Amino acid sequence: MARDRQATEEKILQAVGRILAEQGFHNFGINAVARQAHVDKVLIYRYFGGMPELLRAYAEKGSYWPTIEEVAGDNPEGFGRMPVPEAVATLLCNFSRAVRKRPVTLEILAWEAIERNELAKVLEKVRKDFTKQLYRAIAGSRGRPTGDMAAIVTLLTAAINYLAVRSRKVGKYGAVNIRSEEGWRRLESAIRMISGRCIVSQESM
Amino acid sequence: MARDRQATEEKILQAVGRILAEQGFHNFGINAVARQAHVDKVLIYRYFGGMPELLRAYAEKGSYWPTIEEVAGDNPEGFGRMPVPEAVATLLCNFSRAVRKRPVTLEILAWEAIERNELAKVLEKVRKDFTKQLYRAIAGSRGRPTGDMAAIVTLLTAAINYLAVRSRKVGKYGAVNIRSEEGWRRLESAIRMISGRCIVSQESM
DNA sequence: CTCCTATGTCACTCATCGGTGACATCTGCA
DNA sequence: TGCAGATGTCACCGATGAGTGACATAGGAG
């Protein structure tokens, strides 16, 4: 109708985002996108190629993972001034908040346990870089971690991912209300405690 | 062919299990079950009613969650003899192993983040009872936990679920190889450490 | 043996999906 | 002005899904 390819592509990509955020991958498909965008599906094939390319194009536009700045503040090196356990705890809590407010990210996290699609692949790479930067920020902190810090951080990020994903469908997990701010405060203080007591640095303990 | 309803129902239910274990919910459906069971799909409707009832019937036959015995041994009360932190750690590690060896359970865990179906509902109830018994076993141990033990246990079980589910599709998470026994040993010792240092009991510390 | 019903088989409907070919129309360029 | 390619529209294909109605037959009850 409007004869404006750029605008059409934009409508299509926005439709992808809306469907993922509101209905998830389960109801995702070429037809659904075309409907949502009020665009003929032929145009999706013409402009993007197909489903994988469409997802890839969408992936390149969005921010599906926290940036290091979002989690560590404007100068990640600033973490060098606090003891390791405190740095780790703060990073993890910030990470938790950043992930929880990204509905599309939560959908991808849920779906990559079912099927590894283009979005999951992109997210994987981003996440890898993120992790590397995270460890760099920690490495600058005061004190040397002893014990298997990597294993502990793995456990805690896994827990955060799981609970954040799950909170979309269920209100409680165990005794904790994972839909309320209060529930997440409990989890955060548990994270702080774990970090404080298990990632021992020579100087701070 | 064989004119044996009971045998046919059995074939159908076994087909459900095979599909879930080998292909997951993604490729699950009436037609798929009928194909797998070498049975006409009409019989599924006649004998079970439809998809929800079929899943419910399947759910009632299987053990999709560890039993308390599997995790706490033959007499859960026996945990009363060890200190709380050690009891918690042991229960969690046993739980991890029990979950990881149940492919259908892992599939349900992955899928319930996408859609809450009949199997997920059944699993929910079983899990609730299991948790209750777990806490009872802990309550019998020596010493009083301080701090938010529930939050810590929530975090650790969430982490176990997430990593177990994820290990079906991806080999590594962070720095840990979640497909190898060695990786899980690292996680287990981290769990023991967390439990030992963060669930403080008056007598043992 | 005869009939009735439980069991199994077949053939279909209707909806949706991914994907494609053919056609209409707009717009910028020669 | 007229043409060509870019853009948009429409109608279709084959495959697959859930679900149903009609029919065939085996086997037990009378």
Per-residue pLDDT for A1 more than 70? no
> Whole-number Å distance, CA B31 to C1' D16?
9
Q: Specify the nucleotide whose C1' lies closest to residue B31 (CA).
A: D17
Per-residue pLDDT for A2 more than 80? no
Average pLDDT over residues A20-27: 96
Contact of B4 with chain A, judged by CB distance below 8 Å, is answered with no
Q: Which residues touch strand C (CB under 7 A)?
A: A 3, 27, 29-32, 41-42, 45, 50-51; B 1-5, 7-8, 39-40, 42-43, 46
| Domain formed by A5-61, architecture | Orthogonal Bundle (1.10)
Residue B108, both tokens: 């349900």
The answer to whether the CB atoms of A111 and B114 lie below 8 A apart is: yes
Q: So what's the pLDDT on residue A80?
A: 78
Q: So what's the pLDDT on residue B50?
A: 97
> Whole-number Å distance, CA A44 to C1' D5?
19
Per-residue pLDDT tens over the stretch A165-176:
999 999 999 999
A10, A11, A17, A19 alpha-carbon torsion, rounded to 10°: -160
Rounded to 5 degrees, what angle do the CA atoms A151, A154, A156 make?
Answer: 110
Using CA atoms, how far residue A44 sits from A23, A36, A120, in Å, is 20, 12, 21
Chain B nearest-CA residue for A172: B154
Per-residue pLDDT tens over the stretch A127-170:
999 999 999 999 888 888 878 999 999 999 999 999 999 999 99
The answer to whether the CB atoms of B174 and A198 lie below 8 A apart is: no
At residue A142, the 3 state secondary structure works out as strand
Q: Indicate the domain borders of chain A.
A: 5-61, 68-198
Classify residue B25 by burial, with Cβ atoms within 10 Å: 0-12, 13-18, 19+: buried
Chain A nearest-CA residue for B186: A151
Classify residue B45 by burial, with Cβ atoms within 10 Å: 0-12, 13-18, 19+: middle
| Min Cα–Cα distance to chain A from B194, Å | 6
The alpha carbon of residue B167 and the mean position of all alpha carbons in its chain are separated, in whole angstroms, by: 14
| Min Cα–Cα distance to chain A from B86, Å | 16
Q: Cβ–Cβ contacts within 10 Å for residue B184, how many?
A: 22
Q: Which residues touch strand D (CB under 7 A)?
A: A 1-5, 7-8, 39-40, 42-43, 46; B 3, 29-32, 41-42, 45, 50-51
| Min Cα–Cα distance to chain B from A9, Å | 28
Q: Cβ–Cβ contacts within 10 Å for residue A135, how many?
A: 16
CB B171 within 8 A of CB B179: yes
Contact of B186 with chain A, judged by CB distance below 8 Å, is answered with yes
**Helical ranges in A41-167 per DSSP H:** 41-48, 51-61, 68-72, 84-100, 103-111, 118-139, 149-166
List the one residue out of A126, A131, A123 whose CA is nearest residue A165. Answer: A123
CB B199 within 8 A of CB B85: yes
Per-residue pLDDT tens over the stretch A58-115:
999 989 999 999 999 888 887 878 999 999 999 999 999 999 999 999 999 999 999 9
The answer to whether the CB atoms of B190 and A110 lie below 8 A apart is: no
Q: So what's the pLDDT on residue A202?
A: 54
Residue B178, both tokens: 């979640």
Q: So what's the pLDDT on residue B202?
A: 53
Q: Cβ–Cβ contacts within 10 Å for residue B179, how many?
A: 15
Distance in angstroms (rounded) separating the CA atoms of residues B97 and B93: 6
Distance in angstroms (rounded) separating the CA atoms of residues A71 and A135: 12
The answer to whether the CB atoms of B187 and A163 lie below 8 A apart is: no
Distance in angstroms (rounded) separating the CA atoms of residues A85 and A200: 7
CB B161 within 8 A of CB A164: no
Residue B122, both tokens: 């059944």
List the one residue out of B153, B111, B106 whose CA is nearest residue A166. Answer: B111
CB B25 within 8 A of CB B113: no
Low-confidence ranges of chain B (pLDDT < 50): 204-205
